[in-house]
Chain A
């Protein structure tokens, strides 16, 4: 594949992934987020962070199933986009819901375990985002893949963050869990199942 085609695909992917953000901003400006706009924004940014994380985690399974190495080119972009939306999610929560009150933040942390789980997931993604560049890949060498296995722990924490918020209907939480479970099975059981 020509590098020009590759750049085109990456640009298209980037624009596609940023469309939800554009729509959110448009809705926010046009007062179309409903009577509880901060919660609506927090929900949507969190949702897209999780979906992009799933997309990122789907890359290696796609490589395994199709046998094509080209998929890997898009993994970093998807991971960084997921991290970007997760940061937006935290920013929305901190700025619009907590109104930048530090005291409230620690109280909420203690009162709501699901916030602690979400925070832990985000913190784990920070070193991964920082070391996502080729420079760092070279620097860390064999340690790089080991460090980036933290994404699995981050994913479990993110799922916990979602499950601990369900009230009665757990269709959405279950759907994400099953998808990630399937991806995990493909990723880790490939030797046994995809001989």
Chain B
């Protein structure tokens, strides 16, 4: 009878993540099986140890969101925040477009428990000097966090005001030391269909993993942030745990969630929605009331939460109201052509 003790299973970088996860699952199963005297059940668990975790088994594992926000003091940053009324926490965390969990806006919260966000590592690669695979703890070590209240405007013409907790992406980029060939930054979301049921959908024009990108200028802009929390708490899974991008002057689909890879490249990258529907979703996706989506107008938006008798319809602002800070990135650019 093979008995594995916790000390025999190191959480080493050498072990691939899926391997590591299924071993942890095995340890949990063993803890239960130890109470049962049947040697046969332990042996069959051995056989299961290397197989991908089913969503039912994952739901039984305790998932510990990385609680970095609580561990570090969060400064109240003043240069970035809007003073508009905040969208309540309940609405922010229950109304999400995160198709990796399903296309209903209630799906991400519904199935959030299926995703294991600990351990988490981010691969940094491409045209840079300090590349490699980094555990999230190491990326965030000594990184001061601040609260920023940003507007988020979805391409579907609704918006929210969210108090994110995080830091400017530029500080992460500087640590990666991109070289002179780096003209764009590409981001990738986790691909783990056994824990993200939307990725198992057969009839879907979005290809996984979800990919997004920014020009270096956009990525280095102080407004562009990596968020690890909201409302003073760790990011919930449905909001893109454990780390996501927030680019407040662009449509929400640019603010990629649950990032596992950051790559510096020379040529403009393909981005998921643009590949899926090139006439409808552009690379730049700057919020622009004058450039309509082919199927609906972008001139106004609903500020959530709405009620049945108050649709909270407001005029959409150029660059989502951040024109003063970012319009200079696009001087001379035809915003209709480069949408």
Give which listed residue, B103, B277, B311, contacts A96 with CB less than 8 A: B311
In the complex, per-residue mask of A106-127: 1 if CB is within 8 Å of any chain B CB, else 0: 0110011110000000000000
Closest Cβ of chain A to B89, distance in Å, is 11
B125 within 8 A of A: no
Asked whether, in the complex, the Cβ of A112 is within 8 Å of the Cβ of B308, the reply is: no
B contact residues, total (Cβ < 8 Å): 34
CA distance A41 to B311 in the complex (A): 13
Asked whether, in the complex, the Cβ of B304 is within 8 Å of the Cβ of A35, the reply is: yes
A19 within 8 A of B: no
Which A residues are in CB contact (< 8 Å) with B309?
Answer: 96
Which A residues are in CB contact (< 8 Å) with B94?
Answer: 34-35
B69-127: which have CB < 8 Å to A?
Answer: 87-88, 90-91, 94-95, 99, 103, 105-106
Which B residues are in CB contact (< 8 Å) with A96?
Answer: 308-309, 311
Q: Which of A111, A114, A167 is the most central at the interface, judged by chain B CB atoms within 10 Å of its CB?
A: A167
Asked whether, in the complex, the Cβ of B305 is within 8 Å of the Cβ of A36, the reply is: yes
CA distance A97 to B311 in the complex (A): 7
Asked whether, in the complex, the Cβ of B203 is within 8 Å of the Cβ of A35, the reply is: no
Majority secondary structure, B binding face = loop
Which B residues are in CB contact (< 8 Å) with A41?
Answer: 308
Which A residues are in CB contact (< 8 Å) with B91?
Answer: 34-35
Give which listed residue, B87, B203, B308, contacts A170 with CB less than 8 A: B203
Asked whether, in the complex, the Cβ of A169 is within 8 Å of the Cβ of B203, the reply is: yes
Asked whether, in the complex, the Cβ of A113 is within 8 Å of the Cβ of B295, the reply is: yes
Asked whether, in the complex, the Cβ of A168 is within 8 Å of the Cβ of B99, the reply is: yes
Which B residues are in CB contact (< 8 Å) with A99?
Answer: 311, 313
A161-182: which have CB < 8 Å to B?
Answer: 164-165, 167-171, 174
A38 within 8 A of B: yes
Given A35-B91, A97-B311, A168-B205: A114 in contact with B306 (beta carbons within 8 A) = no
A-B contact pairs, 19 of them (CB 8 A): A34-B95, A34-B105, A35-B94, A35-B304, A36-B95, A37-B308, A99-B313, A107-B297, A111-B295, A111-B296, A111-B297, A164-B295, A168-B103, A168-B273, A168-B276, A169-B103, A169-B201, A169-B204, A170-B205
7 smallest beta-carbon distances between A and B, as pairs:
A35-B305, A35-B91, A168-B206, A35-B304, A169-B103, A171-B203, A169-B204
